[in-house]
C-alpha cells in the first residue's frame, strides 16, 4: 500500500470518528463527515466504491441531516409545544455538551421542559409531555444519523478490495 493510501485511510478514519461523535453531539455535521471519510477512502487504490454510490450516499447524508433538524420540531409541535420549548431544547442540548455523555440527552429534555414552563408555568404535566416528545424527536434524529454513519462504515469495508471482491456499483 502506498504512503498516500495510508494517509487517506488515516484521514478517512478520523473523519468517521469525528462524524460518529457528530451524530450524537449537536453542532457537528455527523453524516457529512462520515461521507467525507468514505470519499477519502475512495481515492485509495484499495477501495472500489464507484462515483454513483458516493453520490447516492451524499444525497442520503443531506436528507438525513435535514430530517435530523426537522424531526425534533415536528415532535415538539405534535405535543403542543411552544417556541420557548423548541429554543429550550436547542439551548439545553448545547449546555448538555458540557456534561458530556448523558448530559446531551438530559440537557435536551430539561431545556424543552424549562422552555415550556417559561411559556406556561402553570401546566407542569404539559411541559413534561412536550419535553418527552422533544426528546423523542432528538433520539429519532440521532438514531437516523448513526444508522447512516454505520451503513457508510459497512459500505467502506465492503468496498475495500481484498483481491476477492469486485467494484461496488449501482
Cell of 46: 484499495
Residue 148 pLDDT = 97
Which residues have a Cβ under 8 Å from the Cβ of 142 and sit 6 or more positions away? 23, 24, 68
pTM of the model: 0.81
pLDDT in tens, 10-37: 999 999 999 999 998 877 899 999 999 9
pLDDT in tens, 109-126: 888 899 999 988 888 999
Each domain of the chain, given as residue ranges in start order, spans: 3-159
Q: Percentage of the chain with pLDDT > 70? A: 91
Amino acid at each position: 500500500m502506498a504512503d498516500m493510501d495510508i494517509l487517506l485511510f488515516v484521514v478517512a478514519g478520523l473523519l468517521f470518528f469525528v462524524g460518529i461523535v457528530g451524530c450524537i453531539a449537536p453542532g457537528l455535521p455527523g453524516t457529512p463527515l462520515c461521507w467525507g471519510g468514505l470519499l477519502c477512502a475512495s481515492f485509495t487504490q484499495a477501495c472500489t466504491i464507484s462515483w454513483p454510490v458516493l453520490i447516492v450516499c451524499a444525497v442520503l447524508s443531506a436528507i438525513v441531516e435535514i430530517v435530523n433538524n426537522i424531526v425534533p420540531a415536528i415532535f415538539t409541535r405534535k405535543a403542543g409545544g411552544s417556541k420557548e420549548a423548541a429554543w429550550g431544547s436547542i439551548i439545553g442540548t448545547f449546555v448538555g455538551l458540557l456534561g458530556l455523555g448523558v448530559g446531551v440527552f438530559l440537557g435536551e429534555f430539561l431545556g424543552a421542559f424549562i422552555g415550556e414552563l417559561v411559556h406556561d408555568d402553570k401546566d407542569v404535566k404539559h411541559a413534561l409531555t412536550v419535553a418527552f416528545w422533544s426528546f423523542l424527536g432528538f433520539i429519532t434524529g440521532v438514531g437516523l444519523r448513526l444508522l447512516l454513519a454505520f451503513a457508510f462504515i459497512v459500505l467502506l469495508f465492503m468496498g475495500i478490495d481484498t483481491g476477492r471482491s469486485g467494484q461496488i456499483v449501482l
